[in-house]
Every structure is written in C-alpha cells, then in structure tokens.
Structure 1
Amino acid sequence: MPAFHLDLTACHQHLVRVRLSHTPSRSCLRLSLPSWTPGSYLIRDYVRQLEGLTVRQGGRTLEPRRLTPSRWQLELPSLEPLEIHYAVLATELTVRTCHLDGDHGFLALAAVALELEGERWTPHRLQLSLPTGWQAFVPLPEAPQGDATGAEGGGWLARDFDQLLDTPVEAGPHRAHAFSVAGVPHRWVSWGSDLQGRDPVDADPRWLKDLEQVCLACCRLMGVERPAADHYLVVLHLTDSGYGGLEHDLSTVLQFGRRSLGRPEGRRKLLQLAAHEYLHQWNVRRLRPAELTPYRYDQAVVVPTLWFAEGVTSYVDQLLPHSAGCSTEKEVLEDLGADLSRYLLSPGRRVQSLRSSSEEAWVKLYRPDAYSPNSQISYYLKGAVLALVLDLHLRRVGACLPQVLRELWASHGAGGRGYRDVDLIDAFARHAADLAVLLPQWLNSCDDPPLQAYLADVGLRLEPQLAPSQELGCRLEPGAAGLKLQRVVRDGPAERAGLAVGDEWLALDGMRVRNVDDIADLLRPQRPLSGHALLFCRDGRVRTTTLLPEAPAVERWTLDLDPASGEATAPQRQRWLTLEVP
C-alpha cells in the first residue's frame, strides 16, 4: 500500500516535505505527478513547485530517470521497500493549489501526490506532521485503531489514488462546527475572519441552520432524501477579496472575500456559492461527463458538455437559497437579472458558441487576457442562461429542469455511468420533443436564445438602461501618465481609431486628461457625435488619432416585473423560482 507522510512543520519556508513509502511489485517503477485537478480545467503543471526528488532503497540512493517534465522511471535493484522524498513549495492560495504559512496550511493533493504506476486502484495511506497547536481537517475515514496504517499518530485511508487526489487538506489552529443534513454528519471549518475579526459562524448564529436548509434544497432538487456523501466537510477561506470554489466527493473548499461578506448581499452570495459546490456532489462528481470517466491526470480532455455540468449548476445556485427560504423573490430576481445583463453585455457571445466554449475550456476560459471578452463566452454564464431557457421551455409542456436532473441521476449518476452529449439531448427531448432540434441549435449557434419570450411566461421582461455618456468602445483606468486603455471592444469606436490595450491617453482636444472625469463633459449624451483629437502614448512614442464616439449604449439590463402580466403569472413564477416540480 503506498503511504504518504506530509510534514507541514516547515510552514515559514512554505515547504511541504513529502515521504512516500512503498513496497514495489515490479523492478521497473514509473512515477508521475498530475498536471491538473478535476473541476478546474487547466493544465497547471504542478511539477513547477516540486523540488529535491530522491529515492532510497535498502540503504542506497537511486537515480530516477526523467521521462517527461512530470514523469520519472526507476530501475530497481530489488523489490525491497523504498522511500521517495521530495518537497512541494506551497505559496499559492486558491482552491486548486497549495498554501502553507504560519497561520494555516491548505493542500490540493493533485499538486502533492505522486502516482505510482500500477497502484491507482489500490488503497493509499495519508499521514500528517503538523506544527504544535494545529489540527487537520481531512474528509477521509481514519485508519482503524491498531492497524499499521495508524502508526505515527494515526492517519487516514483512501480507497484508491483517485480518492486521495479528491481529498483537500486544511490544517491550522482552527475549530470545526458540526451540523447535519438529513442525518448525515457535516463539518464547517473557516480559516480567516470577517471585517470585525470574527469567525463567520460565531458572527452569524443562523448561518449553519440556513446552510443546512440550502443543502436540503439540493437534495430535494435531485429527488433524494439524503446527500450523496455519507459525511461531508466544508472549508471556507475568508480572504481579502477572493472568490471561488472547488467540488469534491466528500467535501468542498470555498474562497470568499471578507469585504464582499460585509456587503448587504454578501451573505446571500456566499450561500449561493455553497449551494453551487454542494450540488456538484451530484452534478459533475457522480453524474459525470463520459470524457472524465475515468480522469486522465496527465492531459487535457475535450468535454463538450461542460455547459451542463457548470451551466446548470450556476443557474440553480441562485434559486436554491430561495427554495430554502433564505432569500426573497426580489433578491433572486436581482441576482438573475445581473447575470442576464452580464451575458447580454458580453460581445464574445457573438463569436464563440456554447459548445465551443465547453470544448475550449482548457485553452480559453482559464487563460483570459484583455481581449478575451471580445472572442469568448463563459460556459458557466451562457450555460446558466441556456438552463433558464430550457427550464422555462419545459414548464410550457408541464415538465421542468429538476425532472431532467433526477432522471439523469437515476440513469447515469447513481451507477457511475458517464453521459455524453447525445444523452443530455435525449433526456431533454423526452419531455419536449422539439428540444431534439432546438437544443443542438442553441448549443452550436452564436445567436441568443429567445430570452424575452420565455421570461414573459413568468411575467418578467428585460429592460435596457442606457449609459450616461457617449460610447467609446473601451474601458479606461488611471495610468502612470494619463488614462490607460484596459479593454478595447471589437468593432467599437476605440478600435476603429486604431487604439489598443495598454495605450495611455494624454490629451483629448488639446486638454490634458488624467482621469475619466476629465473627458466626461465632452461625452455628454446631448453633445453632437463629432470627432475628437486624441494624443496618446504607445511603447514610448507619442501618437495622435481621431476618436469618433457613438450614441450611448446599453450600460446594463434589469429584470423587471411586466405590468402587463399583472398577477396572472405570479403562481407560475413562484413555482419556477422555488424549483417546484409540476
């Protein structure tokens, strides 16, 4: 049985010292470090943080031969037990990397654990050495008392290498808060504090109760009585301004900004993030795309159905707290409206289809640059928009999205059978036959689905709000010498004037500009749409161009009740917003 011992006592060096003990069964042994972690579709090359790899067997040091940057081969002189030693630099605080300092340690084990060829499906042992006063929070069963695996102060057992990699490790002088969901034990662990320096649970006595209700709403959505996991760990990293989460079979890790939590909508947004990751224990982790069954840790895999895995989850994560009684109709409509506005203001939706967004996740979504908004659309965002359309389309014929989720869980998720694109289309078409044609069109087209028509079914409409100034087709921020171009909209006035990201504006119509207010008067909506002489700097050279603004563009969209519908649509809207099954 491969056994990992992770020493976190060198926390001020940010080094995790690893000892992997193993008794080989073959004389040629290959080792590899994963290149990515499930749930985050980007080749991260974790080997960048690995150092000092050495192998010892029977009192001698062996030299591994490197086959690729993250794969090695060992020729063994015997089948005696061996130890592999190395260290991992843990300096990056995200939910998919490692971070170790004097306050806490967090390990995404895909960045730490070497895979031994031929041992992927065998049990693995995990043990930790921690600084004084720390404890570890690990969502694995403990090693049985008296078993050899419980040596050196105990440890944990993973049924195989996949479960080991699916195990986040949080450690520090924290304390856990216990709660249960349908009788299943859960733990909540926070690292970091709110703006007043408090543990979020201590600051909010209703937090765990509301979280329990959200978790129960996830169970109701999936049509099950209990969570998919038989125990569950939630880890929160409360940082200055972070946001994100990563799902696991038996746990989730959340990152949220304390400043955001301090805002009026902050608590609701954190509940939505928790709902998103909690629902993933079904959709994504167990109800999984076939292309990810099993995972291939050394390579990117094209997954055409990420729009369903993440988009559907992103859609319902705003409705789940409302279904649980933790937010009002007004609040959930504000949140849905904000997402729809963000979608409609994304020029990249006219360039990249939803299917392409899913297929290109590895090279686009997680590698954004200043021009990305012009050429791509997030499968999270457009996937959520399509999920909304699908839900309302199904409700026209007496069905709904929750029914499709439940049926897919029964046919694919519960038995670990991976689904493909055709399985999803068939699942929707069983309830509405026209979706056999419409759904592929919506996935492959860059046109918007008919949002307004579906929203009208529930008494809603999207209303445009114009910007208070003429449109320049760019985003500006203060720079060292003037205003700096942060973003240029494709086919907009700035691009037509030959401007590029990074250009610094020095003067407009002969007047010095240092902030956006300096140009506001020239761009008032009532002024004529005339050309303006722009002096700007690029690569150390001062240049000139003529900038011709356009009429004010839509600044945002709001999701409002349609007065023409009156109260007639209120019951249907309530059933939709609470995820009620017809």
Structure 2
Amino acid sequence: MNLTAPHQPLVRATLSLAAPNRVLRFRLPGWTPGSYLIRDYVRHLERLEVWQGGQVLPLRQLAPAAWEVEPSGHQPIEIRTETLATDLSVRTCHLNGQHGFLALAALALEVEGERWNPHRLRLELPEGWEAFVPLPREADGSWIAADFDALVDAPVEAGPHREHRFEVHGVPHRWVTWETGRPLLELHSELLEQVAAICRRCCLFMGEPAPAADNYLFVLHLLDEGYGGLEHDASTVLQFGRKALGRPDGLRKLLQLVGHEYLHQWNVRRLRPAELTPIDYHQSVVVPSLWFAEGITSYVDQLLPFAAGLSDEAAALEDLGADFSRYLLTPGRRVQSLRQSSEQAWVKLYKRDASSDDNQISYYLKGALLALVLDLHLRRAGSALFVVVRDLWRRLGRVGRGYREADLIAAFARRSSDLEALLPAWLGSTEDPPFAAYLADMGLELVAEPASHPESGIVCQIDPHQVLVVRKLPRHGPGERSGLELGDELLALDGVRLRQAEDLPPLLRKDRGQRLLLARRGQVMELAFTSSAPAIERWTLRIDPQAPADAEERRRRWLALEPEPARLPDPETVRC
C-alpha cells in the first residue's frame, strides 16, 4: 500500500497473486468487526484494475463489492486499487500530511479460496514516517498476517510519531499518539503508568497472569473533539478530545475508554458470540448477545479506575449515576427490550435519528446496568460477575468456541440458580430490573432532580442559518401534542422573540395556553401551546444516610471488583 502522496487523500494498493488456474473472484468487506453497521466501504473505491502480463483484464461485477476475472495465462496477477481516505474515525481510513490511518477492512480484498492463507503487508511511506502495525514484522520490513482475518484485524497508523513502550506482566506494549499541539505525555506524564495499572486490573478481572495478546499496540487520535474506540486482538484505536481531557473527569474518562477496549481482547475478540464465529464480512448477522459483549465491558470500564486505585468512591458513583440518569431519561427503554437492542444493532444503534431516543435503548447502556444488577445479585449468593466471566473465558474463550445466549444463561445460573428464569425475563422485557432493591444492598439510592422550568417537550438549536429550529420532539410531550414538527423554525412565544434555545424555558407557563409563532416550509403560522409540569432533569446516585453500617464495606468490595468474603458453614450442618 502506497501512502507517499498524503497531500492527495488516496490510498494506492496492489494485491499480488500467483497465477490462478481458475476464474478469480474477490470481494471487499462491507463492515469491520466491533462496529455492527454495513458501511459499504466500496463507496470509497475510485479505481479497480486487474493486470496480468502487462495487460488489463476485463472485470465482471457480481455485486456492488464483488468481482470476477478470467486469467489469460500463467503469469502472476496484480489487482490495483485507489481508495479515498478522508473519513476520520476508528473504523475508516484517513490520510493527510500529518498521518495516515488505515482500517484494512476498507482496503483489503478477500480473494476466494485464500482467506485462511498467510498474507503479507508492505507499506510505502513518506520520508520521516514510521508505520505502527500489530503484526509480526519480517526482516525486509513487511508484516505477516496468519490469514485474511488477522490482516483485517490489524489497524495501521503511520506518521512522524513517537512510540512509547511499557510492559504489563512482562508483555510488551506500545503507545502511539497522533496529535497536534503540546504532546499529551508532557501534559500528563503519569498517563502510561496509569494505563498500565488499568491493564493489570483487566488481567486480574479475567483471572489471568498476563494479557491475552503476546504484544499490544495502543493508537490514540487526540483531536479537538471526539470519542470512540475499536478493539482488535492485539491492539486498539482510540479517539479522544482535548476539550474533554481538560475537564476535571477527563483523564478518568480516557482511562475508562482504555480499559473498555483493552478488556475486549478477552470479551468479544476471543470470547466471542457464536454468530460471529467465523465472521462474515459481507452481510449483517443477528447477534442476540451483544448486551453481554458490550454491556458487561461498559459496566466494568466504569469501575476500573477505582479498582486500580486511580480514583475515589465519589467519582465511581458519579459515573454510575450518570448511566442511570441517561437510561431512566430515555423513553425508548419502554419500547425496545435489551435482546431486541442487540438483535437490531445493525439498523438501529448506528443509524440514529431524531426519534431514536423514543424507540430504542442502547445495549451498551442498558447492558451495563443489567451487568450491575447481575453483579449485585451474584454477590447476594456469595459470588460476583467476574466469576461468571472467568468461567465462560476458561470453558469457551480459550478454545475459540463461540457462545450463544443459552450458554450465558447457564453460566449465570450455575452461580445463582434463580437467574435461569430471571435473566431471560430481564433480557426480553421492556420493564426495568429492580434497581432500587439491589442498590439498597450497597447503601445507595437513586434521587430524582426535577427541572427548574415547565416541560416544553421541544429540543431546539440554532442551525447554520442562525435560525432556531426544532431538532427533536420527545414522544407524547407538549411539543408533539401542540402539533409541532421537526424542522419548524421557532420565532416567538406570546409575542416574545426567540433567538436561542435558552430563551424558551423562562417563558413557559405551566398548564396555561400560550401562542407559539413559527415558520414551517416557508409559511408563518401560530399554534396553541401548553407546557406541562417540570420533568425530571437528572437522576443522581447517592449514599443513603439510613443504610446499615456494613453497607460501606460491601460497597467498597463491589466498586473495587473484589470477591465477597468466604462464607463459613453453619455449625449445625457440618459433617465429619
């Protein structure tokens, strides 16, 4: 792959093959593992040619991202492509004068019959650039992937970056940052020590003496704004914003993102849903257990900074409380079950619109809160969530056998038999699990905080034309009942001009008819508008002052991801 002209955001790639003795068929993946959305990478493909013996062979298109060609002799074949690389995310390709990032699912062609054979990767780079790839490197500078899956699983970061090295339980780790401005590690000199502490805590959670990978690469894109990550067998690519990093909780949030993706080297990459074993790169697959793959991981990542000794109890409760608040303020939790959220990921979660909060719930978010419930339920039985995860890892993950929902239910039921009935009910229902009862075990309570103004049922913002526009109408809210539509321009309420979103709340009068002036598709009109009582603005997780004295120690063990104390047998039941 040639990146030597980064001023032109095109990745030029050549796939070299020995002379085939049959019709040659090949395809470009439609998605990349870990991000469940058909991305149609072929839309970025600008040129595709097949050469043999100095001649271009005629291609036959079999599907939008599939082709075949008839070889004309016994000479080697080259497939040459040019792909646009202007999409800056952890699952797409981006090339400019500062760096290059390649998500190889967007570039690597899967040749029929070659998936399980070794693949060699060569990179041509601008002068002064280095490439960072989580694959074994050969003496000639190329990288070897054991098969097509290993190739697609290897993100490529290239640029004039500095590499930092550290170890986790004797396993080498590398950290590379693409950034502008003052270097991250000058601002946070202790960051890599903290990252290593998070990594060690992940190993402990899994009950393993070392990471699952025999080397590991972290790539961070430190942008002005942004957040996300994508896991791989021996690496992860992260995006984080400098603005967010500058907030009081910024470093903790970055460490949680690190922990989330690092834990995925076990849960998701090796302990994998059966529906993704093996992976089909060309179509969506229904995966009912994404709540486990992502929800469990999202729950644990919230606790890792505290468990690693890098934050305090107040911060851990603040983060868990923020999750509860987001969940309880999402109406879609009453429409879509957790199992449905997992099954519909391909067409719901990654394709959000103005109605998404009303008709769906994230399997990351609800999955994390169900993981909390499961952890506290298991602790009542003297066990814990990590015990179940370790069981699944040792029985299935280590040997590469995918799990199905029945395997998960059975694993939880082995530690607490009543979960055989409770867990399927929680997965299939749109009712909330009994959060309050489980939180009470830890001396905690959820407290509702109402807004200071009546509820309008309108989410609006200034558009590029400096007009205040309705962007969202929560279902069954005052805005929807009043006949507002998405895209309406809000002009005035009771004759008072509306210029920004903050102008609306102080003008609202609860249960009193008001006149709302607006423009819709070029026509000015007036609507009767009635707001409702102040809605709950947020939920806060607080320590219950009436909690029993021993709740504090139970809470500490739970937040630290520590086991419950061993139970002594009842003397009357002891048998010699």
Name the CA distance, whole Å, in 2 between partners of 1:485 and 1:411: 52
* Residues 468-507 of structure 1 aligned to structure 2 (within 5 Å): 468-479=452-463, 480=465, 482-507=467-492
What is the DSSP-based 3-state SS (H/G/I as helix, E as strand, rest coil) of the residue aligned with 2:449?
A: strand
Q: Cα offset for 1:567?
A: 3.1
* Residues 103-114 of structure 1 aligned to structure 2 (within 5 Å): 103-114=98-109
Q: Which amino acid aligns with 2:532?
A: E
Q: Cα offset for 1:519?
A: 3.2
Q: Answer yes or no: is the 8 Å Cα contact 1:481–1:504 preserved in 2.
A: no
Q: Answer yes or no: is the 8 Å Cα contact 1:36–1:42 preserved in 2.
A: yes
Q: Answer yes or no: is the 8 Å Cα contact 1:27–1:78 preserved in 2.
A: no
* Residues 25-44 of structure 1 aligned to structure 2 (within 5 Å): 25-44=20-39
- Say whether 1:446 aligns with 2:441: no
Q: Which amino acid aligns with 2:554?
A: Q
- Say whether 1:94 aligns with 2:89: yes
- Say whether 1:300 aligns with 2:284: yes
Judging changes above 3 Å, is the alpha-carbon distance between structure 1 residues 522 and 362 closer, same or farther for their aligned structure 2 residues?
same
1:549 corresponds to which of 504, 527, 531: 531
Name the CA distance, whole Å, in 1 between partners of 2:370 and 2:558: 15
Q: Answer yes or no: is the 8 Å Cα contact 1:106–1:171 preserved in 2.
A: yes
Q: Answer yes or no: is the 8 Å Cα contact 1:471–1:553 preserved in 2.
A: yes
Q: Deviations 1:491-529 (Å, cap 9, x if unpaired)?
A: 111111111221111121122221244333332xxx552
Q: Answer yes or no: is the 8 Å Cα contact 1:314–1:381 preserved in 2.
A: yes
Q: Answer yes or no: is the 8 Å Cα contact 1:181–1:212 preserved in 2.
A: yes
Say which is worse superposed, 133-142 or 48-57, in terms of deviation.
Answer: 48-57
What residue in structure 2 maps to residue 213 of structure 1?
Answer: 197
* Residues 43-82 of structure 1 aligned to structure 2 (within 5 Å): 43-82=38-77
Q: Which amino acid aligns with 2:174?
A: R
Q: What is the aligned-residue identity percentage?
A: 60
Q: Which amino acid aligns with 2:164?
A: H
What is the DSSP-based 3-state SS (H/G/I as helix, E as strand, rest coil) of the residue aligned with 1:565?
A: coil
What residue in structure 2 maps to residue 560 of structure 1?
Answer: 542
Name the CA distance, whole Å, in 2 between partners of 1:544 and 1:476: 17
What is the DSSP-based 3-state SS (H/G/I as helix, E as strand, rest coil) of the residue aligned with 2:415?
A: coil
Name the CA distance, whole Å, in 2 between partners of 1:484 and 1:83: 53
- Say whether 1:427 aligns with 2:411: yes
Give the gaps of 5 or more residues in structure 2: 565-576
Q: Cα offset for 1:481?
A: 6.4
TM-score by length of structure 1 reads: 0.95
What is the DSSP-based 3-state SS (H/G/I as helix, E as strand, rest coil) of the residue aligned with 1:564?
A: coil
2:146 corresponds to which of 139, 143, 159: 159
- Say whether 1:173 aligns with 2:160: yes
Q: Cα offset for 1:310?
A: 0.3
Q: Cα offset for 1:313?
A: 0.3
What residue in structure 2 maps to residue 224 of structure 1?
Answer: 208
Name the CA distance, whole Å, in 2 between partners of 1:426 and 1:158: 36
Name the CA distance, whole Å, in 1 between partners of 2:430 and 2:21: 53
Q: Which amino acid aligns with 2:382?
A: G
Deviation beyond 6 Å, 4+ runs, structure 1? none
Name the CA distance, whole Å, in 1 between partners of 2:217 and 2:54: 41
What residue in structure 1 maps to residue 571 of structure 2?
Answer: none
Q: Answer yes or no: is the 8 Å Cα contact 2:493–2:507 preserved in 1.
A: no
Q: Which amino acid aligns with 1:487?
A: K
Name the CA distance, whole Å, in 2 between partners of 1:373 and 1:243: 20
What residue in structure 2 maps to residue 288 of structure 1?
Answer: 272
Q: Which amino acid aligns with 1:426?
A: A
Judging changes above 3 Å, is the alpha-carbon distance between structure 1 residues 521 and 160 closer, same or farther for their aligned structure 2 residues?
closer
TM-score by length of structure 2 reads: 0.96
What residue in structure 2 maps to residue 3 of structure 1?
Answer: none
Q: Cα offset for 1:542?
A: 1.6
Name the CA distance, whole Å, in 1 between partners of 2:74 and 2:400: 36
Q: Deviations 1:172-224 (Å, cap 9, x if unpaired)?
A: 0001000000000000000014xxx2221232221111111100000000000
1:515 corresponds to which of 477, 500, 506: 500
Name the CA distance, whole Å, in 1 between partners of 2:335 and 2:550: 38
Give the gaps of 5 or more residues in structure 1: 1-5
Alignment coverage as a number of residue pairs: 563
Q: Answer yes or no: is the 8 Å Cα contact 1:217–1:320 preserved in 2.
A: yes
Q: Deviations 1:383-422 (Å, cap 9, x if unpaired)?
A: 0010000100111110110000000001110000000010
- Say whether 1:198 aligns with 2:182: yes
Judging changes above 3 Å, is the alpha-carbon distance between structure 1 residues 228 and 507 closer, same or farther for their aligned structure 2 residues?
same
Q: Cα offset for 1:16?
A: 0.7
Name the CA distance, whole Å, in 2 between partners of 1:188 and 1:481: 42
Name the CA distance, whole Å, in 2 between partners of 1:519 and 1:55: 61
- Say whether 1:336 aligns with 2:320: yes
Q: Cα offset for 1:65?
A: 0.8
- Say whether 1:381 aligns with 2:365: yes
Name the CA distance, whole Å, in 2 between partners of 1:481 and 1:324: 47
What residue in structure 2 maps to residue 534 of structure 1?
Answer: 516
Q: Answer yes or no: is the 8 Å Cα contact 2:456–2:505 preserved in 1.
A: no
Name the CA distance, whole Å, in 1 between partners of 2:510 and 2:398: 63
Name the CA distance, whole Å, in 1 between partners of 2:39 and 2:307: 37
Judging changes above 3 Å, is the alpha-carbon distance between structure 1 residues 9 and 481 closer, same or farther for their aligned structure 2 residues?
closer
